[in-house]
């Protein structure tokens, strides 16, 4: 459960950093408070949406526990690659999605 929630929090964090970064580049959210408030709000809303209103977490757990067999592990590998790429982008370009 912690593993699947961790994946969701990480993915939403990366998306949040991208959204706030893009907004900053476009001339919005100039103040630190504004950026912080927008980032926390986006993170909380998107993570809660995924955890409470979708079955994405259940799907991830099913993949992790082997209920979906090879296809589940293949999806986890792809998702892991996506997160690695986004983290790498964040380090190199200061935004996850370039």
Partner 1 sequence: MPFAVAIITNAGSSSEGEYQDSISFPNPAYPPFSSTYVNNGGDNYSSYYSDNRAFVSEERGSNPNFPCSLGGTPSDNCFLLSPSSTLVGSTPMTSLEIEQTHYFNNNTAYVGSSGDGPFTWSLNSWFFSELIENEEAIDKFRFSFFDQAVDYNCGASIFENISWTGSLTFIYDNDTLTFSDFAFQGSNKIEYVYRSVQHGFVQTCHVGLVVEFDLTAFETLELDTFVQDWNWTLIEVELDNFEREDFLPFADTPLPFAGTDEFQLGVEHQPVNSAEAGFLIKTGTIILAVLTFVLAIASTNYWDPFRNAVKGALD
Give the end-to-end CA distance of the chain in Å, rounded to a whole number.
31
Of the candidate residues 37, 67, 91, 94, the single one contacting partner 1 (CB under 8 A) = 67
51 vs 18: CA distance, rounded Å: 20
- Does 81 participate in binding partner 1 (rule CB under 8 A)? yes
CB half-sphere exposure, 30, CA atoms < 13 A: 1
> What region does 35 belong to: left with phi over 0, alpha with psi -120 to 50, or beta?
alpha
- Does 71 participate in binding partner 1 (rule CB under 8 A)? yes
- Does 29 participate in binding partner 1 (rule CB under 8 A)? no
Helix (H, G, I), strand (E, B) or coil at 43: helix
- Does 85 participate in binding partner 1 (rule CB under 8 A)? yes
- Does 9 participate in binding partner 1 (rule CB under 8 A)? no
- Does 41 participate in binding partner 1 (rule CB under 8 A)? no
Given the rule CB under 8 A, which residues bind partner 1? 49-50, 54-56, 58-59, 61-63, 65, 67-69, 71-72, 74-75, 77-79, 81-82, 84-86, 89, 96-98
């Amino acid at each position: 459960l912690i593993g699947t929630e961790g994946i969701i929090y990480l993915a939403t964090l990366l998306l949040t950093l991208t959204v706030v970064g893009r907004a900053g580049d476009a001339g919005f959210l100039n103040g630190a408070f504004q950026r912080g408030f927008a980032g926390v709000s986006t993170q909380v809303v998107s993570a809660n949406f995924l955890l409470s209103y979708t079955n994405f977490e259940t799907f991830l757990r099913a993949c992790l526990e082997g209920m979906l067999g090879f296809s589940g592990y293949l999806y986890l590998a792809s998702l892991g690659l996506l997160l690695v790429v986004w983290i790498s982008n964040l380090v190199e370009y200061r935004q996850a999605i370039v």
